[in-house]
Amino acid sequence: MTLSKMNRSNMSLSSRRRARKAFRAESTYHATGVAIALFFLAPFAITLLASFRHGTEARLPPLPPWPANGISLDSYRSLDTFGAGVWQHTFNSLLVSLATVALTVAVSVLAGYGFSRYRFPLKNVLFVLIIATLMIPFQSILTPLFIILARLGLNNSLFGLTLVYVTLQLPFSVFMMRNAFDAVPKEIEEAARIDGARDLKLLFRVLMPLVLPGIATVAIFAFLNAWNEFLAALVLLSSNEKYTLPVLMMAVRAGRLGAVNWGAVQAGVAVMTLPCLVVFLLLQRYYMRGLMAGAVK
Amino acid sequence: MHETGVVLTDIRKSFGSLEVIHGIDLRIAEGSFVVFVGPSGCGKSTLLRMIAGLEEVTDGEIEIKGRNVTDLDPSDRGIAMVFQSYALYPHMSVRENLAFGLKMARTETAEIEARVKAASAILKIDHLLDRRPGQLSGGQRQRVAIGRAIVRKPDVFLFDEPLSNLDAELRVSMRIEIARLHRELGNTMIYVTHDQTEAMTLADKIVVLRDGRIEQAGTPREVYENPANIFVAGFIGSPRMNLLDAVWLGNGRVRVAGSEMSVPVTGEGLQIGEKVSFGARPEHLFVTDGGAGCIPAKVDFAEYLGGTQYLYCQLADGQPLIAEYRSGPEINAGSTIALSVNDNQRRLFGADGRRLT
Ligand SMILES: Nc1ncnc2c1ncn2[C@@H]1O[C@H](COP(=O)(O)OP(=O)(O)OP(=O)(O)O)[C@@H](O)[C@H]1O
Ligand SMILES: [Mg+2]
C-alpha cells in the first residue's frame, strides 16, 4: 500500500519534472520564433504605420515611424494625385500580373507534361535550349523585344507587356513543371488510362492535383515577377494611364519640383506589398512542397 | 462462351531498333490463371503491358474474348490491371479511387455505389472507404488496387508483381486471397511474378519466358516434372535442379562423375561418347549405402533448416551438387556419402539444351 503510494508520488514527481523541462524547451522555441518573425515583420509594420501619418507629419524625419497625431489617409490621397490615379495603376498591375500567371501556368503545364511524358525528336536539345535562355540577361534583349512588339502593333499595350512577362517567366516555369510531372509515378497515369481517362481529362482529373505544388510555385513566381517588374514596363509603355505600379512609384519617388512626398512613397510601398503578401499567404503551403519536389528529383 | 480468353499471335515488340519480344504465340483459356515467370528483363512486364494496351505492339495481334483488341485503347479492352506500386490516386479517397473508372465510363451513380460496395465487401475494405491512400498500410493499399480492378468487371485481370512490395507474411495471405478471388470471380487472370511459390500455387498454366521468347508453357506439374529444356529445368524449382556434365554411353546409359547409370531415354540420334547434361532435383536425391547407379559425393557444407537439410557436395570430378536430406543419421561436413535418384526422376538434356526422351 505505502509502497505503491510512494511509487505513484515518485512517478508524478518525475513526470512533473519532465513536463517542466518540456515547457521550458517549448517556450524557448516559440520565443525564438516570435523574435525572428518580429525581425522580418518590422519593416512591413513600419511602412504600413508610417503611411497613415498626417500630411504635415509625413515631411518630418520618420521618427517615431507611427502616426503621432492620429490616423489619416492623407498619404494615400496624395498618392492618388500622381499619374492617372492609384486605382488605375493598381488595376493595370493586377491585370498584367494575373494574366501573366494564367498564361504562364497554362503554357508551362502543357509544356512540362509534354517534356516529361512524350518522346519526340530533339526533345532534350529543345529542353536545354529553353533552359539556356535563363542565362541571357533580359536587359540585353529589351531592344529587339521592343521592335518585335512594335511590329506586332503591341507596343504601349498591357497585353504586349504580358506577353513579354510570360516569355521571361516560361523557361523557369517549364523546368519546374517538367520536374513536377517527372515526380508523378508513371503507373498512376497508366492506371488512369486503363480507367478510361484520356488526354485533357487525364490531365485535369488525375495529374493536375498531383502537380499542384509545382503550379503554385510557378504561379507565385510569375505573379511576383510581373508585379514588381520595372524596366520592361518603363520601356514598353509610353502613355501615362497604362503605367503599372512600379513605374508610378518611380514618378512618386522622383517627387515634384524637387520635393519628395515621403508619405506618398510609404503609401505606395504599402499598396505594392499587400497583393504579394496575399498571394504568398494563399499559396505558401503548396509553394514549400513544390520546392521540395523539385529538390529531390 | 469462348474457349479462349486471350490469344496472342506472333507478338513482337521493339524499343527503337532493339527487339525485346521476338514473336510470342499463346492461347489462354477463358477463366484460367496464367503466370508469366522468367529472369529479370526477359519481357514479362512488356508482354503484360501490351495486353493491357499500355505499350503498343510492334507486330502481331491480340484477341480478348474473340475480339481483336490490338489497336484499342486500354479502357476499351475489357481488362483491369494491378500494379506493383499500387498506383492509387493519392488525392482521392478510397471510395473515389474505386469509382473513378466507372465515373469515366459514365456509369449511373446507383450502379457505381452498388459495385463499390460489393467490391469493398469482397476485399474487406468497407471501413476504409473514406480514407486517402496515404493513410493505408501496404496490404490495404494493395486491396484497394485490386478493388479498383474488380469494380470494372473486366474480362481479364492483369497483375504485374502485385505482392512484391509486401512483407513475407502478408504476401502469403494476399496470395491466398488472390486465389480465392479467382475461384469466386472466375475471370481470366494473367499474373507476372518472380516468386516460385506464387507461380506454382496460383497458376493453372505457367509460361516461362527468356529473352522475349516462350521457353515452355504448361501446368505447374508439367514444367516441374517435364521441363522442355535445361533453362526451364534450372529456373523452376528451388534450390535449382542439379545439372551435371555427362557422357552418353549408348543403350540408355550415361557416365556422370565417373559413375555409370541408366536413364529413361531412348537416345535416338545421340552418338556414343557425346556430351550431355544429367539433371536431378535436390529433393529427388537420396542417400544410399552404395550399389549400382549411385554417385559418391563429399559433403562440403550442410545447411540445417529444421524440417530438412541441404547438403552442398562435391563429386569425384569436382562438380558441385546440392542434395536435400530429410531424415536419417546426422551427416556432417567432410563425410563422404553415396547419392542416388529414382530412375523416373533422372533427366537428360542434349548439348543444345533440349530435353532428351
Ligand atoms: N521503355 C523502354 N525503352 C527501352 N527498353 C525497354 C523499355 N521498357 C523495357 N525495355 C527493355 O525491355 C526488356 C524487357 O523489359 P521488362 O520490363 O518487360 O522485363 P521484366 O521481365 O518485366 O523484368 P523484371 O522482372 O525485372 O520486371 C528489358 O531488356 C528492358 O530493358
Ligand atoms: Mg517487370
Same domain, residue pair A8 and A89: no
- If asked whether residues A184 and A90 sit together in one domain, one would say yes
The CA B255 to ligand 2 mean position distance, Å, reads 41
Confidence of residue A28 (pLDDT cuts 50, 70, 90): very high
**Model confidence pLDDT, tens digit, residues B168-227:** 899 999 999 999 999 999 999 999 998 999 999 999 999 999 999 999 999 999 999 999
Task: For residues A127 and A236, state if they share a domain.
Answer: yes
Tell me what pLDDT residue A114 has.
Answer: 93
| Residues A68 and A86 reside in one and the same domain | no
Percentage of the residues of chain A whose pLDDT score is greater than 90: 45
Among A187, A195, A197, whose Cβ lies nearest the Cβ of B83?
Answer: A187
Going from the Cα of B21 to the center of ligand 1, the distance in angstroms, rounded, reads 10
- Across the interface, of A191, A198, A209, the residue whose CB is closest to B91 is A209
Nearest CA distance, A14 vs chain B (angstrom): 35
What mean pLDDT is predicted for residues A226-237? 92
Nearest to A193 among B54, B86, B152 (CB): B54
Q: Looking at beta carbons, which residues of chain B come within 8 Å of A188?
A: 87-90
Give residue B284's pLDDT.
94
pLDDT at B253: 92
Structurally, chain A folds into a number of domains equal to: 2
Cβ of B39 below 6 Å from ligand 1: no
Q: Which of the residues A119, A120, A123, A195 would you substitute to probe the B interface, choosing the one with the greatest number of B C-beta atoms within 10 Å?
A: A195
Average pLDDT of chain A is 86
Closest residue of chain A to B106, computed from CA coordinates: A196
**pLDDT of A195:** 95
Distance from CA of B316 to the nearest CA of A (A): 53
Residues A174 and A214 in one domain: yes
Q: Are residues A135 and A57 in the same domain?
A: no
Distance B131 CA to ligand 2 centre (A): 29
Q: Both A65 and A192 in a single domain?
A: no
Query: Is A139 found in the same domain as A221?
Result: yes
Q: Which of A18, A42, A75 is the last residue of a domain?
A: A75
Q: Helix or strand or coil: residue A259?
A: strand
Pair (A234, A88) in one structural domain:
yes
Which chain A residue has the Cα nearest residue B87?
A188
Cβ within 8 Å, pair A195-B100: yes
Q: What is the pLDDT of residue A295?
A: 43
Asked whether B41 lines ligand 1 (CB < 6 A), one says yes
- Set of cell numbers at residue B129: 472507404
Residue numbers in A near B101 (CB within 8 A) = 194-196
Residue spans of chain B under pLDDT 50: 1-2
CA distance B99 to B90: 14
Quote the pLDDT of residue A229. 93
Q: Which of A193, A194, A206 to mutate to test the interface with B (most CBs of B within 10 A)?
A: A194
B127–A contact, CB cutoff 8 A: no
pLDDT of residue B269: 84
Q: Could you tell me if the CB of B15 is within 6 A of ligand 1? A: yes
The pLDDT value recorded for residue B224 is 95
- According to the model, what pLDDT value does residue A3 have? 52
Domain of A287 in residue numbering reads as: 81-296
Nearest to A190 among B54, B100, B101 (CB): B54
Residues from chain A contacting residue B99 (CB–CB below 8 Å): none
Within this chain, do residues A195 and A52 fall inside the same structural domain, yes or no? no
Q: Would you call B54 an interface residue with chain A, using a CB distance cutoff of 8 Å?
A: yes
**Ligand 1 atom nearest to B49, measured from its CA:** 18
SS (H, E, C) chain B: CCCEEEEEEEEEEEECCEEEEEEEEEEEECCCEEEEECCCCCCHHHHHHHHHCCCCCCEEEEEECCEECCCCCHHHCCEEEECCCCCCCCCCCHHHHHHHHHHHCCCCHHHHHHHHHHHHHHHCCHHHCCCCHHHCCHHHHHHHHHHHHHCCCCCEEEEECCCCCCCHHHHHHHHHHHHHHHHHHCCEEEEECCCHHHHHHHCCEEEEEECCEEEEEECHHHHHHCCCEHHHHHHCCCCCCEEEEEEEEECCEEEECCEEEECCCCCCCCCCCCEEEEEECHHHEEEECCCCCCEEEEEEEEEECCCCEEEEEEECCCCEEEEEECCCCCCCCCCEEEEEECHHHCEEECCCCEEEC
Ligand that comes closest to the CA of residue A119: 1
What per-residue confidence (pLDDT) applies to A297?
A: 30
Cα of A122 to nearest chain B Cα, Å: 15
Are A27 and A48 part of one and the same domain? yes
Q: What is the pLDDT of residues A84-95, one digit of tens each?
A: 888 999 999 999
Which of A43, A75, A107 terminates a domain? The answer is: A75
**One-letter amino acid for residue A140 of the chain:** S
Checking if the pLDDT of A67 tops 80, the result is no
**Ligand 1 center to A29 CA (angstroms):** 52
Collapsing DSSP states into helix, strand and coil, what is residue A73? coil
B287 lines ligand 1 (CB under 6 A): no
pLDDT band at A294 (very low <50, low <70, confident <90, very high): very low
- Ligand 2 centroid from CA B103, angstroms: 29
User: Do residue A61 and residue A97 come from a single domain?
Assistant: no
As a whole number of angstroms, the distance between CA B321 and CA B323 comes to 7
Distance in Å, CA B13 to ligand 1 centroid? 11
Q: Between residues A273 and A68, which one has the greater pLDDT?
A: A273
- Whether residue B93 lies within 8 A of chain A, CB to CB, comes out as no
The model carries a pTM of 0.83
Contact B105 A193 (CB under 8 A): no
Residues of B in contact with A201 (CB under 8 A): 104
Query: Quick check: CB of B45 below 6 Å from ligand 1?
Result: yes
Residue A256: all three cell numbers together: 515634384
B301 lines ligand 1 (CB under 6 A): no
The CATH number of whichever domain residue A124 belongs to comes to 1.10.3720.10
pLDDT of A166 strictly over 80: yes
- Where among A75, A92, A121 does a domain terminate? A75
Q: Is B44 in the pocket of ligand 1 (CB under 6 A)?
A: yes
Name every chain A residue with its beta carbon within 8 A of the beta carbon of B90.
188, 210
Q: What is the pLDDT of residue A253?
A: 83
Closest CA in chain A for residue B104: A196
